[in-house]
């Protein structure tokens, strides 16, 4: 009998749909293509001057800080997000745009093997005279550490 009033809550399907339609996606959308990297992040609670985007060679960092004065004091809202850039992204060419509905779009063009961010490096081979230093001495110069045996597990050689 006590649960009956709770079960008779009048919720119409269109009201429930409109509620879920207003809920925003908290998770970012990341798109990695052959020619560009794109990151979409919902920051609708922040203004343009409260958001900062920084680019490093391997990462893009998004910071947001908001201070509001209330009757009881201050409310500070802050976030820092760090995303790894895929190979070939030049941090100097990253663009960020803020849409009117609060979606931050960060785009980084991907380059194939560029000069500043090579995908592959060729290591030159130099020649030297083998008469001055034979190959056997290179092998002898390498020291291999043997794993230390634990006491109790190691077998001791028989005593004569």
Chain CA centroid to CA 68, Å: 30
pLDDT 10s digit of each residue in the chain, 160 long?
455 554 555 555 555 555 545 555 668 888 888 889 999 989 888 888 888 898 888 888 998 999 999 898 989 999 999 999 988 888 888 888 888 888 888 888 988 755 454 444 455 545 555 565 455 544 455 455 555 555 555 555 555 5
Residue-range definition of the domain harbouring residue 61:
26-141
Tell me, yes or no, whether 64 lies in a domain: yes
Predicted pLDDT at 121: 46
Establish if 19 belongs to a structural domain. no
Domains: count for the chain = 1
Residue 102 lies in a domain: yes
The CATH number of the domain where 108 resides is what? 2.60.40.790
Residue 6 domain flag: no
Residue 82 in any domain: the answer is yes
Whether residue 38 is contained in a domain is answered as yes
What tokens does 86 get? Answer: 């895929």
């Amino acid at each position: 009998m006590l649960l009956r009033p709770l079960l008779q809550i009048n919720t119409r399907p269109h009201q429930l749909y409109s509620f879920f339609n207003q809920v925003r996606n908290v998770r970012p959308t990341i798109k990695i293509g052959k020619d560009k990297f794109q990151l979409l992040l919902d920051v609708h609670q922040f203004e343009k001057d409260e958001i900062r985007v920084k680019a490093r060679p391997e990462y893009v960092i998004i910071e947001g800080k908001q201070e509001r004065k209330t009757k009881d004091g201050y409310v500070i809202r802050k976030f820092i997000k760090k995303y790894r850039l895929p190979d070939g992204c030049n941090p100097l060419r990253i663009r960020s745009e803020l849409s009117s509905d609060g979606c931050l779009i960060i785009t980084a063009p991907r380059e194939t093997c560029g000069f500043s961010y090579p995908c592959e490096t060729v290591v030159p081979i130099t020649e030297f005279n083998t008469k001055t230093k034979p190959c056997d001495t290179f092998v002898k110069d390498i020291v291999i550490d043997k794993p230390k045996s634990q006491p109790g597990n190691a077998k001791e050689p028989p005593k004569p």
